[in-house]
Chains A and B, each alone.
Chain A
Amino acid sequence: MAYDRRQEHHEPSQPEALRIEYQLEIGRTYVPVGVDRTFAILDPERAETLRAWSSALIPADGELPAAGEIGAAEFIDATAFAAPRIRGLLINAIDRLGRQAVAHTGNRFADCPPDIQAELLRSFEVKDSGAAFEMVRDLTYEAYYANRRVLDELERRTGWRYQVAVEGTTMEDFDESLLERMKTVSPHYREA
């Protein structure tokens, strides 16, 4: 029996072994991006760790903000609120990262300098067997690349006009003179 503690060779399961296909869990959820919100499931200590984590994944660069500045941690928290089955995975991952930081540096993760945070995350990523790192990374990317402030700066840097996907644009008509050579090619479809 799964819950029968009297059985022989019983070993309690470990939270590190928690495996959840987070994409299946969050597929049905939709959490708006760029909405001002507070944390719904994370306490302030864990929220601070997650904010620092997301900022380490996408740090600030000139006018581009760090992910933690644009509400990525709150977005992740809101996603876990909407998809409760990922909460354990998320909280456990935050706690593991926090313990790892204290064990290696004596400091909380959020208080470590960026290079040490990156080192801790690289180590965490390698050891993470439950896809928590991948989940936090993907959700951070989602929050970041739907943020207007980020997209404005990205447009300035790359010319990517993000509003066209929503508002449309105009283009020059197809220029048939480009087909000049092709119009000299005789039909050669395969007869059947």
Chain B
Amino acid sequence: MNREGEADVLVIGAGAAGAAAAWSLSQRGARVVCLEQGEWIPPERRPKSHLDWEVRTRRYWSPSPNLRQWPADYPVASFGADPINVLLYNCVGGSTIGYAANYWHLSPSDFRVRTLDGVGIDWPISYQDLAPYYTRNERILGVAGLVGDPWSPPREPLPLPPAPLGNQGRIVLRGFEKLGWEYWPTEQAIATRPYDGRAACDFRSFCPFGCPPGAMSSADVTYWPKALKNGVELHTNARVREISLHPNGRARGAIYYDVEGRAWETRARLVLVSCGGIGTPRLLLMSTSSQHPDGLANSSGLVGRNLMVHIQTFAVGLFEDRVDAWKGTWGGSLSTRQFYETDPRRKYVRGFVMSGCPGWSPLNLALQLAPWGAQHHETLAHYLNHEVVVFLCGEDLPAESNRVELDWEHLDEFGMPGAKTHYTLDENGKRLGADMIDHGRRLLDAAGAVSVRDFGLSPLIGWHLLGTARMGTDPLASVVDSDHRAHDVSNLFIVDGSSFTTSAGVNPTSTIQALALRCADRIWQRRRDWQ
């Protein structure tokens, strides 16, 4: 069952982090093999290549693995007082193939929430440690935006100009100005000009439902072509069953099933796990042995614990005039970080961001609002192309009781367990969520909305899956160290959303990829330890 030879680095997972790390290590000359449980998604499978794209997004492109049921998907069940709606993709590019590409830096304060606000724990690294990697990543992807917002430390210019505002952006701007609130163009990993051989955005909107031109910087069109050119060996349809170990306790590689269900082992000097906030703890918990009966790298008992998902929802304003919601970039025009930091006048700690977005498309809106029968057409025409959406995203504090476990009652197609999430929103989160929605509604009111609705906090959106193998200095309180090396296994590294020590309150992909580039640097700097 052994594959020929031994790689320098085995990367498990070809998503945002795995792609960045594989590219970075191969760029230096490391021999890298990557195992990805899913496959490549060709342009013609992307819904927005087709007129019936909205139907396709409810079938094979559903972000819920339970609904679309790709062969690579494992079941995910949700429990707890506030069960989350888990959304992710298992394929080359991972969940970036269906994200909105909002691309924030964390703030310096995000790395020090225990010190500053007395909650959570501090990260073992600082903003300054990560800043160069944010910049490197932005140049590789082609991130659009402007530096100069008042909430950020000084930083390098972004390679591309911000996305156009359009009518809906001007409406959001009107609200910000009327309230005297601060705002800035939303940074997005979208090529607003041709960039690095990729076509420019043509403003089809609804970015999560596939970007046929490849302007949206998903990992399959950014890092992977470069990594493959560097010689990275990418095996798709490779469902990893367990990380294998040498008798001395060091990682030896991984055992996986190929597309036909045949077991193979790929060996490497070093193993890097990048399967995401659910997939990473699932794999570690599946990798039991006499040395690690509770799962690999789990002596702290924290593998799968401290699941954070951000407190996310939408406020939606109805406007008399048409808003041209059919064009633009979907992830946002203008955003604000004005309410991001702890404010003693509010009854909670930490904060949130808001981003203006276009409204909903016909089928989506009809399913939300248009009753069947005689009133159907009038209702839809009342709302369609008259709504502006404000995306709201707030910080979610870590709690050990919020967790990912194996689900042996629901198996994938190769008999491996699914995942269970348990999640309960704490009181701080509930207060933050209510205030965040109130701010979103105020913004839309000020912009001139004739009415405002919101999506509430249930079910919580489970796009940002964080914290389940967190970084830290204390082996009793974290799974990996500041270099992403597992405390328990010297040649096992973990980098992806699970590495987040606290969640911050912004879309995480920018930070996930910056962490991956930094992790790859650390691995390379200490290559004599594993070569």
Contacts and interface: CB of A to CB of B under 8 A. Distances in A.
B109 interface: yes
Interface residues of A, number: 62
A34 B324 CA distance: 26
Question: Of A163, A169, A171, A188, which is in contact with the most chain B CB atoms at under 10 Å from its CB?
Answer: A171
Interface in A81-95: none
Given A58-B376, A146-B54, A175-B165, A181 B177 contact: yes
Most buried by A among B55, B361, B385: B55
A142 B148 contact: no
Contacts of B178: none
A160 to B, nearest CB: 5
Contact of A192 (B50, B56, B116, B381): B116
B115 A165 contact: no
Contacts, number: 185
B264 interface: no
B52 A171 contact: no
Given A58-B376, A161-B327, A174-B165, A166 B363 contact: no
Nearest to B183: A182
Given A58-B376, A187-B150, A142 B322 contact: no
B150 A166 contact: no
Interface string A133-155: 00001101110111010010010
A178 B165 contact: yes
B363 A188 contact: no
Given A166-B48, A192-B112, A174 B384 contact: no
B326 A162 contact: yes
B148 A183 contact: yes
A165 B54 CA distance: 10
Interface string A180-191: 011101111111
A168 interface: yes
Contacts of A34: 51-52
A167 B381 CA distance: 23
B203 interface: yes
Nearest to A161: B326
B257 interface: no
Contact of B54 (A61, A121, A142, A161): A142
Nearest to B110: A192
Given A145-B362, A148-B51, A173-B161, A158 B381 contact: yes
Interface in A58-78: 58-59, 61, 64
A29 interface: yes
A192 B126 contact: yes
Contact of A146 (B55, B111, B165): B55
A174 B361 CA distance: 24
Contacts of B67: 23-24, 27
A102 B116 CA distance: 71
B185 interface: yes
Given A145-B366, A146-B54, A168-B202, A59 B374 contact: yes
B166 A171 contact: yes
Contact of A189 (B66, B111, B151, B366): B151
Contact of A171 (B51, B53, B328): B328
Which of B112, B183, B184, B363: most chain A Cβ within 10 A?
B363
Interface string B314-350: 0000000010111110000000000001000000000
Interface in A2-54: 23-24, 26-30, 32-34
Given A148-B51, A161-B327, A192-B127, A168 B213 contact: yes
B326 A182 contact: no
A179 interface: yes
A53 to B, nearest CB: 10
A144 B55 CA distance: 10
A166 B56 contact: no
B231 interface: no
B319 to A, nearest CB: 13
A165 B361 contact: yes
B58 to A, nearest CB: 7
A97 interface: no
B52 A189 contact: no
A110 interface: no
A190 B108 contact: yes
Interface string B34-66: 000000000000001111111110111010001
B185 A174 contact: yes
B13 to A, nearest CB: 23
A164 B373 contact: no
Contact of A142 (B55, B127, B384): B55
Contacts of A163: 51
18 contacts: A28-B59, A58-B376, A61-B376, A61-B377, A141-B366, A151-B51, A159-B324, A160-B362, A165-B326, A166-B48, A168-B204, A171-B203, A174-B163, A182-B183, A189-B107, A189-B152, A189-B153, A190-B109
Given A64-B377, A142-B55, A185-B150, 18 more contacts: A27-B68, A32-B52, A59-B374, A137-B372, A145-B363, A151-B362, A158-B385, A161-B326, A171-B166, A172-B164, A174-B163, A179-B148, A186-B150, A188-B150, A189-B151, A191-B109, A192-B107, A192-B108
Interface of B: 48-56, 58-60, 62, 66-69, 107-109, 111-112, 115-116, 126-127, 146, 148-154, 161-166, 173, 177, 182-185, 202-206, 213, 322, 324-328, 341, 361-363, 366-367, 370, 372-374, 376-377, 380-381, 384-386
Shortest 3 CB-CB contacts between residues of A and residues of B: A168-B202, A146-B52, A171-B164
